[in-house]
Amino acid sequence: MRVAVVQHDIVWCERQANFDRLAPRVAEAADDGARLVVLSETFSTGFAVESDSFAEPENGPSSQFLRAQATEHGVWIAGSCPEVPADSRADDQRPANPLVLADPGGNLRRYRKIHPFTYGGEDRYVRPGADLVTVDVDGLRVSLFVCYDLRFADEFWQMAPETDVFLVPANWPASRRDHWITLLRARAIENQAYVIGCNRVGVGGGLEYSGDSLIVDPFGEVLAEGPDTECTLYAEVTAERVADVRDRFRFLPDRR
């Protein structure tokens, strides 16, 4: 399957402006043969957790944008957007930070980020998720994570036997770019699975973002990497490559 990672800048808390900028990029990726298109964390707002305009209702404009793009172009598309869950209590209207995955038929799956980023104050404004999620995407087992989750290897280990691809959209700042690059490759090597990291570029909330999006194969080889500017990365990912690496290097069964 051909995957496209759309490394993009974000207009701070201006959803329609971001939709308008991203729609042509998604169309271009689909025209170039991508079946799965990955956008960044908080692709429609930026990491504006303290803003009153950060959250939206579940199935709000951002997830509807993903659904519309998926059905229009016949692709799978993923991006994280802050949503207040439909079953929220009246006294807790904090959003979750879900990675929303839309399929070509317009169906939505959600993984709610389990680890809010306490160093950046996300835990004060965003509720944690609880459930790990894997989705069959055209025969590939794709497990969903968001940004800070990348630092928690145990959950990747837990899911590895039933995963071919890990998705990790992010708003990861340039000041810790070496951590981002190292951890993406580590998660691929130790779990013998593809890892697809999509990070934003530009400046938002006083922080600089350097991109460095990566598509890493199950042996840790970098198939595509982004610079510090907007771009789209492409790579072919297959379940057969995962099975071959795991068959030749039987490391996962030795994990205790």
Q: What's the rounded Cα separation, in Å, for the pair 98 and 75?
A: 19
**162 in catalytic set:** no
**113 in catalytic set:** yes
Tokens of 202: 């530009």
Options 13, 41, 56, 81, the catalytic residue: 41
Scan for tokens 């169906």, then name that residue: 107
Q: What's the rounded Cα separation, in Å, for the pair 28 and 37?
A: 10
Options 56, 58, 122, 147, the catalytic residue: 147
Q: φ, ψ for residue 16 (rounded to 5)?
A: -65, -40
Options 13, 81, 113, 225, the catalytic residue: 113
Helix (H) or strand (E) holding 188: helix 177-191
C-alpha angle 178-40-146 in degrees, rounded to nearest 5: 70
Contact 194, 237 (CB under 8 A): yes
Max CA separation in the chain (angstroms): 53
**41 in catalytic set:** yes
Annotated catalytic residues are: 41, 113, 147
